[in-house]
Amino acid sequence: MDWIRRSFYSLAAVVASAFPSLANDIGQADKGEAVFRECARCHSVGEGAKNRVGPHLNGIFGRRAAAVDGFNYSNGLTRMGKDGLVWDFDLLDRYVENPKAFASDTRMAYKGLKDAGQRADLLAFLRRYSDDPGNIPEAAPTASGTDHAVDAAILALQGDPEYGEYLSSECTSCHQLDGDNDGIPAIVGWPTEDFVVAMHAYKDKFRPHPVMQMMAGRLSNEEIAALAAYFGAAAP
């Protein structure tokens, strides 16, 4: 877990210096209650909250990802939970900002909340329903002011599948072309955009996993596009 915290602290430090006005404010819970109305179509929180379309959000701070019994999570969030991801302010902030960049196959059909202030308010509201809010720092690493959406020009890049095939040999030391999903996720047959968004999320260290952050970290935009083109066309 140390690696997760370390990368977030460093990111938080960068963000804090760039957005000093946000750095000391966790958000206003009362305003967050209004923001939550959009979430409430699928999620419930508070006394007697139950799983609905989405899992209940009581105790979400400090809860391991994909940990509510009886809820059918995506493979991606399940894997993150196994890898040790525990929801804190930063991670929830990222997930709410851009759910698909965080977990490609998430079942949360929500486009994301771009406004950092609204996210801070929302999280301040949710924080009321976590077991021990006293342990959650008021001035925690704050809402990310950076936009993690992948630039349209990057998404528009047409990848060269032949080049992707060459680069893919670095991936196939672990990921199998037959689409085997045990232990290491399958990466064949993905929609190009999902693949590109996921790889940039690792490259930007938005998505946690040390091996993938390292692998994606040294791929250029063109290389990611080429891999997306190659693996997208590779049938499992």
How near is the Cβ of 207 to another protein at its closest, in Å?
15
106 neighbors 77 (Cβ within 8 angstroms):
yes
Between 51 and 176, whose beta carbon lies closer to another protein? 176
State the residues that interact with another protein by CB under 8 A.
1-3, 64, 79, 81-84, 160, 163, 166-167, 169-170, 172-178, 180, 182-184, 210-211, 213-215, 217-218, 220, 222-223, 226
Between 84 and 137, whose beta carbon lies closer to another protein? 84
How near is the Cβ of 218 to another protein at its closest, in Å?
6
Between 39 and 219, whose beta carbon lies closer to another protein? 219
Cα atoms in the Cβ-side hemisphere of radius 13 Å centred on 50: 1
Q: Please report, to the nearest 10 degrees, the dihedral formed by the alpha carbons of residues 98, 223, 191, 215 taken in order.
A: -60
Tell me the torsion sign for CA atoms 105, 111, 115, 120: negative
Helix (H), strand (E) at residue 201: helix 192-203
How near is the Cβ of 214 to another protein at its closest, in Å?
5
Between 93 and 223, whose beta carbon lies closer to another protein? 223
How near is the Cβ of 178 to another protein at its closest, in Å?
7
